[in-house]
């Protein structure tokens, strides 16, 4: 995958966001005979999966009993590849304007892209991890917020801080290869799915609740943490070669908030065709909002197909909404 430094002048459909929904939309645009350009601020396709949980197993993608995050992204890129989508990575679409009725995007480097339609699939927008307060001022290594490569943590003592899905997912993934995994959470209730919590508990992974990591030990690299547990007289010391701070993240829609899109908090309102209030601008995936919205990868795939097929008719009014069956295309 290479960055596009030339920036084409025009494309039939510009897809903003190269996560799973955007990648599947690129396939469908190609299937409909449309030229397509994917734009993403991240340097690689895959969105949150690539940035946050490439090693996690995903269990709710139709046709795959389970699939690793990075493998799902690789398959989606391969699925779209026969239609030669153009990727503009490490760039952000800053503004939208119109040449007559056609949208034109202005990128953060000043280049512009004329479009027949725009499809926004940028998920939660850009995101930054919530910091671990105890790590403030600690300049050594060993504090991570995501785990791109599980193998790096083989035979390590790992402390996972947090009580959400990410914290328990990382504990499950790291348990087979780490020397030890301990979860520390500030409450005795968890945001993670009960099934995942039960799986971690069944592995006898220590879970320290009503607790805070208050200090880090080590110099060039962390060697342990100090944990204060509510009701205990003194702090506990836990060995730690790596701390996974799974404390969530702060999302930001960035320049999209200035486009004139009708928003519901951090989400773009769409109609049943996935059209927004802006002409020739559609949206799909986690960024969208409508009655009954369910934010799942599976939902995003269906919305991508709906959005692209409706965009195809807007781009070419003589086209049919129904694309035909892919099995008939060979």
Average of per-residue pLDDT across 160-188: 93
Instruction: Give the pLDDT confidence score for residue 8 in this predicted structure.
Output: 61
CB 314 within 8 A of CB 306: no
Query: Which of 34-48, 177-191, 280-294 comes out lowest in average pLDDT?
Result: 34-48
Q: Is 93 annotated as a binding residue?
A: yes
Q: In sequence order, what DSSP letters do the residues of 48-93 get, joined into one string?
A: HHHHH-TTSEE--BTTBS-EEHHHHHHHHHHHHGGG--EEEES--E
Above 60 in pLDDT, residue 1? Answer: no
Q: Is 48 annotated as a binding residue?
A: yes
- Specify the higher pLDDT residue, 244 or 327: 244
What span, in angstroms and rounded, lies between the C-alpha atoms of 250 and 132? 13
Together in a domain, 121 and 145: no
Q: Is 99 annotated as a binding residue?
A: no
Q: Is residue 52 part of a domain?
A: yes
Q: Is 21 annotated as a binding residue?
A: yes
Instruction: Give the pLDDT confidence score for residue 101 in this predicted structure.
Output: 95
Q: Is 37 annotated as a binding residue?
A: no
Average of per-residue pLDDT across 50-69: 85
What span, in angstroms and rounded, lies between the C-alpha atoms of 39 and 90? 8
Average of per-residue pLDDT across 314-330: 84
Together in a domain, 155 and 63: no
CB 116 within 8 A of CB 279: no
- Specify the higher pLDDT residue, 149 or 26: 26
Helices 20-31 and 69-80 cross at an angle (nearest 10°) of: 20
Together in a domain, 121 and 160: no
CA angle 231, 131, 145 (to 5 degrees): 105
- Specify the higher pLDDT residue, 277 or 149: 277
Q: Beta 207-208 vs 211-218: how paired, if at all?
A: unpaired
Together in a domain, 28 and 92: yes
Rg of the chain over Cα atoms, rounded to whole angstroms, equals 22
What span, in angstroms and rounded, lies between the C-alpha atoms of 207 and 182? 6
- Specify the higher pLDDT residue, 57 or 34: 34
Together in a domain, 49 and 24: yes
Closest residue by Cα to residue 48 from 261, 311, 300: 300
Query: Which of 51-60, 136-145, 234-243, 305-314 comes out lowest in average pLDDT?
Result: 51-60
Average of per-residue pLDDT across 44-72: 86
pLDDT in tens, 2-16: 445 445 689 999 999
Average of per-residue pLDDT across 291-306: 95
Instruction: Give the pLDDT confidence score for residue 4 in this predicted structure.
Output: 52
Q: Is residue 286 part of a domain?
A: yes
252's tokens: 């930001």
Q: Is 28 annotated as a binding residue?
A: no
Give me the number of domains the chain comprises: 2
pLDDT in tens, 27-56: 999 999 999 999 998 888 888 887 777 777
Pick from 247, 271, 286: which residue ends a domain? 247
Query: Which phi and psi angles does 252 have, rounded to 5°?
Result: -145, 125
82's tokens: 């026969």
Q: Is 40 annotated as a binding residue?
A: yes
pLDDT in tens, 100-146: 999 999 999 999 999 999 999 988 766 667 889 998 888 889 998 87
Q: Is 281 exposed, middle or buried (0-12, 13-18, 19+ CB in 10 A)?
A: buried
3-state secondary structure of 157: strand
Q: Is residue 180 part of a domain?
A: yes
Segments forming the whole domain that contains residue 69: 10-127+250-329
For the chain, the average pLDDT equals 91
Q: Is 79 annotated as a binding residue?
A: no
Together in a domain, 40 and 140: no
Together in a domain, 28 and 46: yes
Instruction: Give the pLDDT confidence score for residue 226 in this predicted structure.
Output: 95
Above 70 in pLDDT, residue 311? Answer: yes
Average of per-residue pLDDT across 285-309: 96
Which helix (H) or strand (E) segment holds residue 201: the answer is helix 194-202
Instruction: Give the pLDDT confidence score for residue 197 in this predicted structure.
Output: 94
Together in a domain, 119 and 255: yes
What span, in angstroms and rounded, lies between the C-alpha atoms of 157 and 184? 13
Quick one: CA torsion of 115, 120, 126, 127, rounded to 10 degrees?
-160
CB 57 within 8 A of CB 71: no
Q: Is residue 5 part of a domain?
A: no
Together in a domain, 104 and 155: no
Burial 248-262 (b: 16+ CB within 10 A, else e): bbebebeebeebebe
Pick from 247, 272, 293: which residue ends a domain? 247
| Domain of residue 21, CATH code | 3.50.50.60
18's tokens: 């190269």
119's tokens: 């499809």
CB 48 within 8 A of CB 123: yes
Instruction: Give the pLDDT confidence score for residue 126 in this predicted structure.
Output: 65
Together in a domain, 204 and 288: no
> In percent, how much of the chain has pLDDT > 90?
70
């Amino acid at each position: 995958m290479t960055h596009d430094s030339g920036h084409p002048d025009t494309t039939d459909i510009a897809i903003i966001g190269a996560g799973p929904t955007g990648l599947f939309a690129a396939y469908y645009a190609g299937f409909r005979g449309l030229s397509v350009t994917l734009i993403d601020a991240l340097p690689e396709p895959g969105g949150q999966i690539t940035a946050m949980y490439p090693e996690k197993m995903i269990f709710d993608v139709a046709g795959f009993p389970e699939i690793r995050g990075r493998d799902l992204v690789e398959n989606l890129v391969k699925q779209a590849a026969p239609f030669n989508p153009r990727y503009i990575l490490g760039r952000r679409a800053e503004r939208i304007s119109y040449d007559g009725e056609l949208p034109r995007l202005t990128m953060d480097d000043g280049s512009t892209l004329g479009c027949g339609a725009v499809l926004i699939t940028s998920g939660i927008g850009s995101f930054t991890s919530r910091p671990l307060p105890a790590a403030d001022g600690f300049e050594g290594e060993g504090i991570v917020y995501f785990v791109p490569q599980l193998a790096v943590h083989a035979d390590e003592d790992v402390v996972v801080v947090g009580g959400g899905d990410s914290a328990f997912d990382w504990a499950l993934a790291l348990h087979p290869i780490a020397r030890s995994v301990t979860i520390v959470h500030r409450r005795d209730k968890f945001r993670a799915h009960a099934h995942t919590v039960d799986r971690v508990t069944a592995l006898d992974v220590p879970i320290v609740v009503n607790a805070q990591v208050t200090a880090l030990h080590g110099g060039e690299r962390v060697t342990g943490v100090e944990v204060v547990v509510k009701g205990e007289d003194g702090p506990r010391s836990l060995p730690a070669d790596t701390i996974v701070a799974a404390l969530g993240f702060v999302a930001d829609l960035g320049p999209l908030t200035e486009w004139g899109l009708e928003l519901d908090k951090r989400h773009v309102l769409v109609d049943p065709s996935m059209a927004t209030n802006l002409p020739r601008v559609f949206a799909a995936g986690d960024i969208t909002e409508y009655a009954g919205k369910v934010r799942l990868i599976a939902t995003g795939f269906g919305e991508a197909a709906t959005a692209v097929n409706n965009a195809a008719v807007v781009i070419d009014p003589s086209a049919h909404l129904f694309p035909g069956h892919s099995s008939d295309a060979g």
